[in-house]
Chains A and B, each alone.
Chain A
Amino acid sequence: MRLDREDLYARLEPLLGLVEHPSRYLDHEWGAQEELDGPFHVCLIYPDVYEVGQTNLGLAILYRELNEAQDISCERAYLPWVDMGDLMRIHGVPLLALESSAPVASFDMIGISIAHELACTNIVETLDLAGITLYAESRDEDEPIVVGGGASAWNCEPVAPFFDAVLLGDGERALVRMAQTISDARQDGASRADILLRLACLEGVYVPSLYDVVTDATSTRWGYAVPRMGTGAPAVVKKHCVQDFAATEPVSQRIVPYMGVVQDRFAVEILRGCARGCRFCQAGMTYRPVRERPAEQVVDAALEGLAASGFDECSLTSLSTTDHSQCAQIVRTLNESLSAQGVRVSIPSQRLDSFGVEMAASVGASRKAGLTFAPEAGSQRLRDVINKNVTEEDLLRAAENAFNIGYRRMKLYFMMGLPTETDEDIIGIPKTAERVMEVGRRVLGPRAKVSVSISVSVFIPKSHTPFQWAPQLPLDEVHRRQQLMLHSATTDRNLRISYHGSWPSLIEAVLSKMGRKGAELILAAWKRGCRFDAWSDQFDFGAWNEAAADVGVDLEDIACEQFDLDARLPWDHTSPGVSKGYLQREWRRAMNAEVTPDCTRTSCTGCGVCPSLGVANALVGERV
């Protein structure tokens, strides 16, 4: 049932003194939308707490685009932390949007970010707290249209039953079109079913209820989705892609939060897409093609955004910022303009092979706290298998450049459980870090305090990647390899090793591989109290196991299953443009440790994105 649009802040306020961090629930931040006239009202929701979701750049882009569109007002909501969520239930306060303090269930359209697999129970929690019917097929005619999208929408089947529609690909423009379509349909008096049919005609829009799941000999046990006869829904929904990325507004982040949030800085998206071709990386496959903003646009946007927001740090964000053909120029220009004001320029992580002397000096001009690199694997053979396309020489040279200009700390990211991994690869992880340490001591002196931290996650096979068919390591084997790695390292206390929990990674793999039946598992887990699964103090593996038993599945059995290379997969009806043939070819090349080059530096490697979507890489200079 659609709730009335009314300001319920007075019912929330008495609870503020009883919870942690009441500033999560206040609104009134600098830059927040004040005109809320609509008449079409959209609420964008990040299904985690405010400080995690507020700086999500995707939602910032959509918030601005929707509010600039005629007759649309867009607001935000985040999932209250458990203390506030429980109090709201006790006091009968539904989930509210921040700007108007109106119930989320009073809006015309809800957009929920499908951020990552461990946020799936939070999606259910969000809908329940809002008072919106959980399953899309059971929603009343007048309930909000619930739309999903985001980085993890590429196997959205486990959450598909909770959504009326899912937007695949770039959201700017496409989400506005969806809102206008719903608005027009409502004005026409269209039924809910008719609205969904209209949405299914839009590029990049997947309407799960228009597809049946079929399981047969050609598929995995999770089946595949086929459009229902007569609906007109496409057999394969291709993503929406913004080709003229440089023509989009570069300053998206208008809201300045009161509380400390993750990535508490002004961000400019300097490029979108990555063609490096790392075979485990879903973003690298799904955000293609590569599109750069010109240096002047980035610099102007950074200066304008910093002046308007008051942040004291600017982050140049993208999947691989140092790949931008004008990156060094951008960083140098910004440093020259900003260092006197105490404003730092940061880059989220650096590619080893593009971190030269100049880049080291530019990034380190304002701050030398530490640098992060991602070799991903402990041997050259395995780095070739995953197509990381960096060598140990790249790593040691980058480290030397960094130590030479004064860095003392380095963090290295690795993965465990990659296809074809052996014990030698595991032992190679701490050995690689030790060699970096040796470089540091050679450059800075034997008594210099050099520290190297390595963080090792568990490989999770993701849809639409060359490793989508791969199994995850069984838990016992993960634990054995973790111990092997720890015992292979020296006792040097300046070498710190940490690794991700195996149990959350297992759940992530389960939800990455399952089809629509995953919704039953998610719902069962939520009913057993699971929420905020990405928070280690909230994650309850026992409850997930009980939920699996409730629905008759075995978690490890699902995560560790290898799919047949020719099988029809649960996500085959959605496409980021990368062809399945390319992924199969890349899988075979991986098994032979053959690398594939980056098409922004060589010729086309045949991923299929450009011809499939009618797009092309758009670089502003030559990449070297």
Chain B
Amino acid sequence: MSCLPPNACRLRVRYVKDGRLAYLGHLEVMETVMRSVRRSGVPFEVSNGFARRMRVQFSQALPVGASSECEYYDLLLSDPLDVGDAMDRLRNATPRALAPSAARILPRRVPALEAWAGLSSWEVNVRAPGVNAKSFDDGLGRCLAAGVLHYMRGDKPKSVSLGETLVDYDVRDVPGGIDLAMRTRTGERGSLRPAILVKAVCDCAPLRVRRVGQWHEREDGALVDPMDV
């Protein structure tokens, strides 16, 4: 049994974003998680001030339509709680497609998740006529040579530095298209969304995008799992 240490009252929870709930936006996920916490009865801290809000922090936003097996939030607890008990309560109060998969107690003062866990790995399935590993390599090569990827988000022109945000990738042919594994890093001017890259390289939308890992990247390049802090 892992009870809360005297100086620690932060519960870090890993959860999935799956099925049709992949289409939830980040704000919708945040609100849903906060309501799940309230339903669960897990004791949480509330901020002071004009609008008293639950004290919770989330990892980086997942694009609408992308699923994930490794999203995170940190909840500041108002009372000590057994992790297993917390997991049971949260599971029973959360929609299945956002179910918590792991939790642990952390010291109260740790870096904010969103900025700290800046490296993501993705699995992307693209199924489109004429798209194969060779054509993807060629297209991505052209994009990398350009350095910056320009795209539209709604009516707004956006750009992202590929050199800064694309860590590495691996592509392989499958019937009807390609399966792409890639890692991205948050850049100074934003993140690279896999669907944006696929659109730029293949001129089509990916069939499925799934985040399969989030890490903190230490200065020496070593990766730290958010649950191994």
Taking Cβ atoms with an 8 Å cutoff, the residues of A that contact B are 9, 13, 16-17, 21-23, 26-30, 256, 258-260, 306-312, 339-342, 366-368
B65 adjacent to A28 (CB under 8 Å) = no
Ordered nearest first, which 9 A-B pairs have the shortest CB separation? A310-B35, A342-B52, A310-B38, A342-B46, A22-B23, A310-B39, A258-B28, A26-B20, A17-B65
B39-80 vs A, Cβ < 8 Å mask (1 yes, 0 no): 101000011001111100000000011000000000000000
Nearest-neighbour CB distance to chain A for B36, whole angstroms, equals 6
A260 adjacent to B27 (CB under 8 Å) = yes
B151-166 vs A, Cβ < 8 Å mask (1 yes, 0 no): 0000000000000000
Apart from A30-B95, A307-B38, A310-B35: 7 A-B pairs, beta carbons within 8 A: A26-B23, A27-B20, A28-B21, A258-B32, A306-B38, A311-B35, A312-B38
B34: which of A259, A312, A366 is its contact (CB, 8 Å)? A312
Q: How far is the CA of A310 from the CA of B95 in the complex (A)?
A: 12
B205 adjacent to A17 (CB under 8 Å) = yes
Contacts of B19 in A (CB 8 A): 28
Contacts of A339 in B (CB 8 A): 52
Contacts of B41 in A (CB 8 A): 307
Contacts of A340 in B (CB 8 A): 46
Assuming the contacts A258-B32, A342-B46, asked whether A26 and B39 have C-beta atoms less than 8 A apart, the reply is no
B46 adjacent to A16 (CB under 8 Å) = no
Residue B25 lies at the interface, judged by CB distance under 8 Å to chain A: yes
Q: How far is the CA of A189 from the CA of B185 in the complex (A)?
A: 66
Residue B133 lies at the interface, judged by CB distance under 8 Å to chain A: no
Residue B37 lies at the interface, judged by CB distance under 8 Å to chain A: yes
Nearest-neighbour CB distance to chain A for B21, whole angstroms, equals 7
A342 adjacent to B53 (CB under 8 Å) = yes
B39 adjacent to A307 (CB under 8 Å) = yes
Residue B31 lies at the interface, judged by CB distance under 8 Å to chain A: yes
B88-130 vs A, Cβ < 8 Å mask (1 yes, 0 no): 0000010101000000000000000000000000000000000
Residue B200 lies at the interface, judged by CB distance under 8 Å to chain A: no
Nearest-neighbour CB distance to chain A for B193, whole angstroms, equals 13
Could you pull out 12 A-B pairs where Cβ atoms are within 8 angstroms?
A17-B23, A17-B65, A21-B25, A26-B21, A28-B21, A30-B39, A256-B32, A258-B32, A259-B24, A259-B28, A260-B28, A342-B54
Chain B residues with a Cβ closer than 8 Å to the other chain, count: 30
Contacts of B46 in A (CB 8 A): 340-342
Q: How far is the CA of A258 from the CA of B53 in the complex (A)?
A: 18
Contacts of B52 in A (CB 8 A): 339, 342, 366
Chain A CB count within 10 A is highest, among B20, B32, B35, B46, for B20
B23 adjacent to A310 (CB under 8 Å) = no
Contacts of A258 in B (CB 8 A): 21, 24, 28, 31-32
Q: How far is the CA of A256 from the CA of B24 in the complex (A)?
A: 14
Q: How far is the CA of A338 from the CA of B31 in the complex (A)?
A: 19
Nearest-neighbour CB distance to chain B for A273, whole angstroms, equals 32
A23 adjacent to B35 (CB under 8 Å) = no
Q: How far is the CA of A128 from the CA of B47 in the complex (A)?
A: 49
Nearest-neighbour CB distance to chain B for A22, whole angstroms, equals 4
A16: which of B37, B47, B65 is its contact (CB, 8 Å)? B65
Assuming the contacts A310-B39, A342-B54, asked whether A23 and B97 have C-beta atoms less than 8 A apart, the reply is no
Q: How far is the CA of A17 from the CA of B22 in the complex (A)?
A: 10
A23: which of B28, B37, B54 is its contact (CB, 8 Å)? B28
B65 adjacent to A310 (CB under 8 Å) = no
Assuming the contacts A29-B95, A308-B39, asked whether A23 and B34 have C-beta atoms less than 8 A apart, the reply is no
Nearest-neighbour CB distance to chain B for A190, whole angstroms, equals 39
Chain B CB count within 10 A is highest, among A13, A28, A29, for A28
B35 adjacent to A13 (CB under 8 Å) = no
Q: How far is the CA of A180 from the CA of B205 in the complex (A)?
A: 48
Give the residue name and chain of the A residue nearest to B39 (CB): A310
A310 adjacent to B34 (CB under 8 Å) = yes
Give the residue name and chain of the B residue nearest to A29 (CB): B95
Q: How far is the CA of A268 from the CA of B32 in the complex (A)?
A: 21
Nearest-neighbour CB distance to chain A for B46, whole angstroms, equals 4
Give the residue name and chain of the B residue nearest to A21 (CB): B25
Contacts of B32 in A (CB 8 A): 30, 256, 258
Nearest-neighbour CB distance to chain B for A23, whole angstroms, equals 5
B95 adjacent to A23 (CB under 8 Å) = no
Contacts of B54 in A (CB 8 A): 312, 342
Q: How far is the CA of A233 from the CA of B117 in the complex (A)?
A: 69
Q: How far is the CA of A601 from the CA of B31 in the complex (A)?
A: 43
Nearest-neighbour CB distance to chain B for A160, whole angstroms, equals 38
Q: How far is the CA of A17 from the CA of B39 in the complex (A)?
A: 30
Q: How far is the CA of A183 from the CA of B64 in the complex (A)?
A: 42
